[in-house]
């Protein structure tokens, strides 16, 4: 068996079992996976094939119809069994995948039967962990499987699929090769002192290219949170501007209470909706104003905190009345903070317009009337356009998660220090080679080649059972 080139202790795997279909849904069928060296023998104890032959004697990569029975030969369910021999499996281990009817009682009974026959319940992400240990995928590809399952946008799905196929692994493999090559140039400069200027220029130019690649990936990490989690839109404005009415119109449900009384909304209310291939979380907030009401003050404070977590901000203004000075200043302040992520919604457009242009210098705006539905479709199109522009800012063909960012930050710092050292009047290439070694260690931690065991386990702890 080929062991991975990392420092994780590897123990001969046990045979594990779990349901790969999320429980709590409404499907007709469920898939139970058994993976490990004794997978065939354990499954054979529990499965009676229609042909009456033993499951262990079947050819690899074949599907068979039969029944799961208990120790008293009582049928638990009729099933289809896929027999998959190592190493041509997802985990790299012998695998049996059992498709049964989707019923929690049936699923639990089958799993318990397999456990009594010798399998162990799988931990979170343990099937994927087997795949990494058996060099079927690297750690970056394993993380991409998790991202693929939880992606909330079409772009996120495409990026995760590319990463599963090795797009991110290829980028870091190229970076690793480039740093090793640069190190060899540094070491060559020790011997070819006469050509040191030629070596120096080549080293600096190549280091700057690597550094720029790292910076691009770091900048992409914030934008790509949207690919995983969807777009978070916070609706703010003065009291009685119509925020709650707009919120209800956007989500297609009467979630927020709407009354003529100012200050009805006292807390942030969230609701999700899938729109234009993306999951949108709309957040209705308490109206922003000066007030002596303690409870309302808490709600307003939460409104400002919600803004800090926003991917986009909708400022709702009542265009049927003139803005007061404090309201105008508050709108301008939010515009300055969030710039291109702000859309001004001129609400109550079905009423007589008062006061002319609200904020002339702001170009992203939309007139709507929640009561009649006027402009709602146009606002949705505007939201989608702004979201696509935001996502296109850093078009990196993979997803940069929190673990990647935590490693990329010191990598970027090391690269910057190396470039500064190279640009000094008398660069010491022996020391530069040592600094480049630190950069290489960051990359090997990303790919899993030298990751610490605790960090390795943390990656899979975030997975779901059955994957």
Q: Where in the chain is the domain with CATH 3.30.1360.120?
A: 16-136
- Tell me how far apart the alpha carbons of residues 341 and 312 are, in angstroms, rounded to a whole number: 5
CATH architecture of residue range(s) 230-392: 3-Layer(aba) Sandwich (3.40)
CATH of 16-136 given 3.90.1150.10, 3.30.365.10, 3.30.1360.120, 1.10.3720.10: 3.30.1360.120
Q: What is the pLDDT of residue 294?
A: 54
CB crowding 4-40: b at 16 or more within 10 Å, else e: bebebeeeebebbbbbbbeeeeeeeebbbbbbbebbb
pLDDT digits (tens, 9 = 90+) for 191-221: 555 555 556 777 788 888 888 888 888 777 6
Q: What is the pLDDT of residue 19?
A: 94
Q: What is the pLDDT of residue 448?
A: 75
pLDDT digits (tens, 9 = 90+) for 245-280: 888 888 887 655 554 544 444 457 888 888 877 788
Q: Where in the chain is the domain with CATH 1.20.120.430?
A: 154-226+401-447
CA-derived radius of gyration, the chain: 29
**If we measure between CA atoms, which residue out of 263, 384, 369 comes closest to residue 318?**
369
- Tell me how far apart the alpha carbons of residues 15 and 182 are, in angstroms, rounded to a whole number: 45
Q: What is the pLDDT of residue 247?
A: 86
pTM over 0.85: no
- Tell me how far apart the alpha carbons of residues 120 and 122 are, in angstroms, rounded to a whole number: 6
Q: What is the pLDDT of residue 2?
A: 39
Q: Where in the chain is the domain with CATH 3.40.50.300?
A: 230-392
Q: What is the pLDDT of residue 4?
A: 45
The residues, any chain, with a CB within 8 Å of residue 109's CB and separated by 6 or more, are: 68, 70, 76, 77
Angle between helices 139-150 and 453-461 (to 10 degrees): 20
Angle at 233 between CA 279 and CA 360, to 5 degrees: 135
Q: What is the pLDDT of residue 80?
A: 96
Per residue, the 3-state secondary structure of the chain, as one string, reads: CCCCCCCCCCCCCCCEEEECCCCCCCCCEEEEEEECCCHHHHHHHHEEECCCCCHHHCCCCEEEEEEEECCCCCEEEEEEEEEECCCCCCCCCCEEEEEEECCHHHHHHHHHHHHHCCCEECCCCHHHHHHHHCCCCCHHHHHHHHHHHHCCEHHHHHHHHHHHCCHHHHHHHHHHHHHHHHHHHHHHHHHCHHHHHHHHHHHHHHHHHHHHHHHHHHHHHHHHHHHHHCEEEEEEECCCCCHHHHHHHHHCCCCCCCCCCCCCCCCCEEEEEEECCEEEEEEECCCCCCCCCHHHHHHHHHHHHHHHCCCEEEEEEECCCCCCHHHHHHHHHHHHHHHHHEEEEEECCCCCCCCCCCCCCCCCEEECECCCCECHHHHHHHHHHHHHHHHHCCCCCCCCCHHHHHHHHHHHHHHHHHHHHHCCCCCCHHHHHHHHHHHHHHHHHHHCCCCCHHHHHHHHHCCCCCC
Residue pair 109/75 in contact (Cβ under 8 Å)? The answer is no
Put the strands of the sheet holding 16-19 in their side by side order.
Answer: 47-49, 62-69, 75-84, 95-101, 29-35, 16-19, 120-121
The residues with which 79 forms a beta bridge, in sequence order, are 66
Angle at 295 between CA 293 and CA 301, to 5 degrees: 100
* CATH domain 154-226+401-447 topology: 1.20.120
Which parts of the chain register pLDDT below 50?
Answer: 1-10, 259, 261-266, 360
**If we measure between CA atoms, which residue out of 248, 257, 178 comes closest to residue 211?**
178
Count of C-beta atoms within a 10 Å radius of residue 316: 28
Q: What is the pLDDT of residue 263?
A: 47
């Amino acid at each position: 068996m080929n062991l991975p080139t990392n420092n994780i202790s590897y123990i001969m795997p046990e045979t594990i079992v779990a349901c790969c279909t999320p429980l709590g849904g409404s499907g007709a069928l469920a898939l139970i996976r058994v993976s490990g060296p004794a997978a065939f023998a354990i499954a054979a104890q529990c499965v009676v094939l229609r042909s009456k032959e033993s499951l262990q004697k079947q050819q690899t990569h074949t599907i068979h119809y039969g029944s799961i029975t208990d120790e008293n030969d009582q049928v638990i369910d009729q099933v289809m069994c896929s027999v998959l021999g190592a190493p041509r499996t997802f985990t790299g281990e012998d695998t049996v995948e059992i498709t049964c009817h989707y019923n929690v009682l049936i699923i639990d009974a089958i799993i318990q039967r397999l456990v009594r026959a010798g399998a162990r319940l799988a931990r979170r992400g343990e099937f994927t962990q087997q795949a990494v240990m058996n060099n079927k995928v690297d750690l970056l590809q394993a993380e991409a499987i998790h991202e693929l399952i939880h992606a909330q946008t079409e772009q996120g799905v495409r990026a995760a699929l590319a990463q599963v196929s090795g797009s991110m692994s290829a980028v870091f493999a190229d970076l690793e090769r480039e740093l090793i090559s640069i190190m060899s140039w540094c070491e060559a400069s020790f011997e070819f002192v006469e050509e040191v200027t030629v070596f120096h220029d080549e080293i600096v130019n190549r280091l700057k290219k690597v550094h720029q690649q790292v910076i691009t990936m770091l900048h992409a990490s914030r934008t790509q949170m949207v690919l995983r989690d969807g777009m978070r839109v916070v609706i703010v404005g003065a009291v009685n501007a119509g925020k709650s009415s707009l919120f209800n119109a956007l989500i297609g449900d009467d979630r927020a209470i709407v009354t003529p009384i100012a200050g009805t909304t006292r807390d942030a209310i969230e609701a999700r909706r899938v729109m234009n291939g993306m999951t949108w979380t709309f957040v209705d907030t308490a109206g922003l104003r000066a007030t002596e009401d303690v409870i309302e003050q808490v709600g307003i404070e939460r409104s400002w905190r919600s803004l800090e977590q926003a991917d986009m901000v909708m400022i709702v203004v009542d265009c049927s009345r003139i803005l007061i000075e404090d309201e105008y200043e508050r709108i301008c302040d939010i515009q300055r903070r969030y710039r291109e992520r702000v859309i001004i919604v001129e609400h109550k457009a079905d009423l007589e317009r008062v006061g002319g242009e609200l904020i002339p210098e702001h170009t992203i705006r939309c007139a709507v009337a929640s009561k009649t539905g006027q402009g709602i479709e146009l606002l949705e199109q505007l939201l989608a356009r702004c979201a696509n522009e935001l996502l296109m800012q850093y078009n990196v063909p993979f997803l940069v998660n929190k673990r990647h960012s935590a490693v990329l930050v010191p990598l970027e710092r090391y690269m910057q220090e190396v470039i500064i050292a190279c640009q000094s009047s008398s660069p010491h290439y022996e020391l530069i080679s040592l600094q480049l070694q630190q950069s290489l260690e960051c990359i090997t931690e990303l790919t899993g080649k030298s990751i610490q065991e605790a960090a390795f386990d943390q990656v899979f702890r975030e997975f779901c059972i059955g994957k």
